[in-house]
C-alpha cells in the first residue's frame, strides 16, 4: 500500500528531523550556563529577531505587502507586559494579556488597512507606528510618558530566555507548517493576483486579516519578552522604527516567503549588527539605510 508506506516514511523523516532540533534546543539551553550573561543576552536578541523576522514574513513575504507597522505590535506587547508587571502580575499572565490584546487590535486594524495597496499601505502602516508611539507618550499618567517606565528587576533571566526559545521554536514551526498548508497557498495566491484568487473562491479579505493576526501575536509576545528582559520601556524604543525595519530587512534580504530565508536573514543581520555596533557605534541607522537602498535597487532591477 503506497499511501501507508508514504505515511510511514513521513513519520520516520519527522522523527529524524526531531533529533537535530532537540540537540539544538539542548545546546541553546546549555550555552548560557557555560558562557554566562553575554552569551545569554546575545542569543536572546537573536531568538527575538528570528521571531520578529518570521512573523513579519507572513505579511511582508507570503502576502507580499511592504509592511512597516510590525513595530506597532511589538510596542503594544512591550507596554502591555510592562504595565502588567508594574502591577505585580506574573510574567506568563502578562504575556497572555499582550497576545490577547494584539489579536483584536490586528483584526480591527486590518479592516481599514487592507483597503490600501502598495506604497500607500506602506505609508499608512508607518503612520500607524508613529501614531502608536505618540499615543503612548501622550498617555503619560498611565504609561510614564516619553521618559519611559521602569519595571521591577528581572529575578529569573533564564525564564525569559527559555520563553524566548519556546516562542521562536513555535514561530519557526508554525511558519514551516503555514508554508505547507492551505492557508499558506491562499496567502501566496492572494499575493500573485487578488482577482484570480477571488475568482477561484478565496476570500482575500479574510486571508489578509488572518495574516495580520498571525504576524501580530508573535510580535507582541516578542515585545513583552524584550520589556521583561531589559526591565524598561520607552516609547521611542518600543515603537521605534527599527522594530519594523530590522524584521523587514531580515525578511527581504534573502528570499521572502520561505522559512529559511527570514531565518537565515535574521542570523546574518544580527551577527552584522553585533559586529558593527560594537566597533562603529555611530553607524547604527546607516547600516539599515545602506541595506534598504541595496534591496530597493535590487528590486528595481527585478521588477
Partner 1 sequence: MDLATFTQLLLSGLLLGGIYAMVAVGLALCFGVLGLLNLAHGGFLVLAAFTFQAIHEFWPAGMLPSFILVPLIFAGLGWLTFRCLLQSSLKRSSDALLIPALLITLGLAFILEEGTLTLWDSSMAGLVSQFATIRLGEIYLPGNRLVVLILMLVISAALQLWLSRTDSGRRLRALSQEPTGATLVGISQTRVTGVAFAMATALAAMAGLFYVTLFTVSPHLGLPLTLKALFIVVISGSGSLTRPLAGGLALGTLETMLATPFGAHWANFLSVALLLAFLCWRPQGLFVRKASTVRHEV
**Interface residues toward partner 1, by CB under 8 A:** 66, 112-113, 115-120, 122-124, 126-128, 130-131, 134-135, 137-138, 241, 282-286, 288-297, 299-301, 303
Distance, in Å, from the CA atom of 256 to the CA atom of 299, rounded to the nearest integer, reads: 12
Question: Do residues 39 and 53 touch, judged by C-beta distance below 8 A?
Answer: no
Q: How far is the CB of 79 from partner 1 (least distance, A)?
A: 16
Smaller CB distance to partner 1: residue 173 or 289?
Answer: 289
Phi, psi of 40 (to 5 degrees): -65, -45
Q: Which is nearer to partner 1, 24 or 111 (CB)?
A: 111
Helix pair 242-253, 70-86: axis angle to 10 deg: 130
What CA–CA distances, in Å, run from 303 to 5, 293, 297, 298, 300?
A: 44, 15, 10, 9, 6
Give 165 or 242: the residue with its C-beta nearer to partner 1: 242
Exposure pattern of 120-137 as b/e (b: 16+ CB <10 Å)?
ebbebbbebbeebbeebb
Nearest distance from residue 133's CB to partner 1, in Å? 10
Segments in 36-156 forming alpha helices (H)? 37-57, 70-86, 91-113, 118-138, 140-143
Helix, strand or coil, per DSSP, at residue 150: strand
In angstroms, the CA 128 to CA 123 distance is 9
And the C-alpha cell for 34?
Answer: 557555560
Q: How far is the CB of 251 from partner 1 (least distance, A)?
A: 12
Question: Of 118 and 153, which CB lies nearer to partner 1 in the complex structure?
Answer: 118
Could you tell me the smallest distance in angstroms from the CB atom of residue 137 to partner 1?
A: 7
The label of the residue with cell 539599515 reads: 288
Residue 64 Cβ vs partner 1, minimum distance, rounded to whole Å: 10
> How many helices (H) and strands (E) in the chain?
14, 2
Shortest CB 138 distance to partner 1, Å: 5
| Closest to partner 1 by CB, 22 or 236 | 236
> Which helix (H) or strand (E) covers residue 233, if one does?
strand 232-233
Q: Residue 138 or residue 203: which is nearer to partner 1 going by CB?
A: 138
Beta bridge partners of 232: 150
| Nearest to partner 1 of 7, 284 (CB atom) | 284
In whole angstroms, how close is the CB of 292 to partner 1 at the nearest point? 3
Amino acid at each position: 500500500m503506497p499511501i501507508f508506506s508514504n505515511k510511514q516514511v513521513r513519520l520516520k523523516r519527522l522523527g529524524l528531523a526531531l533529533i537535530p532540533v532537540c540537540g539544538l534546543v539542548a545546546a541553546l539551553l546549555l550555552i548560557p550556563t557555560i558562557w554566562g550573561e553575554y552569551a545569554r543576552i546575545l542569543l536572546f536578541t537573536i531568538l527575538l529577531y528570528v521571531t520578529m523576522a518570521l512573523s513579519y514574513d507572513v505579511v511582508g513575504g507570503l502576502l507580499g505587502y511592504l509592511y512597516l507597522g510590525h513595530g506597532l505590535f511589538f510596542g503594544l506587547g512591550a507596554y502591555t507586559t510592562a504595565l502588567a508587571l508594574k502591577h505585580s502580575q506574573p510574567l506568563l499572565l502578562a504575556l497572555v494579556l499582550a497576545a490577547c490584546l494584539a489579536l483584536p487590535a490586528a483584526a480591527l486594524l486590518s479592516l481599514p488597512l487592507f483597503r490600501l495597496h502598495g506604497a500607500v499601505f506602506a505609508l499608512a502602516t508607518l503612520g500607524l507606528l508613529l501614531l502608536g508611539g505618540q499615543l503612548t507618550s501622550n498617555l503619560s499618567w498611565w504609561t510614564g510618558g516619553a521618559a519611559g517606565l521602569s519595571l521591577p528587576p528581572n529575578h529569573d533571566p533564564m525564564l525569559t530566555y527559555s520563553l524566548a526559545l519556546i516562542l521562536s521554536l513555535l514561530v519557526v514551526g508554525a511558519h514551516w507548517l503555514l508554508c505547507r498548508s492551505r492557508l499558506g497557498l491562499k496567502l501566496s495566491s492572494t499575493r500573485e493576483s487578488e482577482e484570480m484568487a477571488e475568482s477561484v473562491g478565496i476570500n482575500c479579505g479574510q486571508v489578509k486579516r488572518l495574516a495580520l493576526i498571525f504576524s501580530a501575536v508573535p510580535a507582541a509576545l516578542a515585545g513583552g519578552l524584550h520589556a521583561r528582559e531589559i526591565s524598561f520601556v520607552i516609547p521611542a524604543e518600543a515603537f521605534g522604527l527599527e522594530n519594523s525595519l530590522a524584521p523587514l530587512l531580515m525578511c527581504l534580504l534573502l528570499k521572502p516567503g520561505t522559512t529559511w530565508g527570514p531565518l537565515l536573514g535574521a542570523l546574518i543581520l544580527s551577527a552584522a549588527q553585533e559586529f558593527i555596533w560594537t566597533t562603529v557605534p555611530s553607524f547604527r541607522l546607516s547600516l539599515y539605510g545602506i541595506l534598504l537602498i541595496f534591496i530597493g535597487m535590487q528590486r528595481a532591477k527585478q521588477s
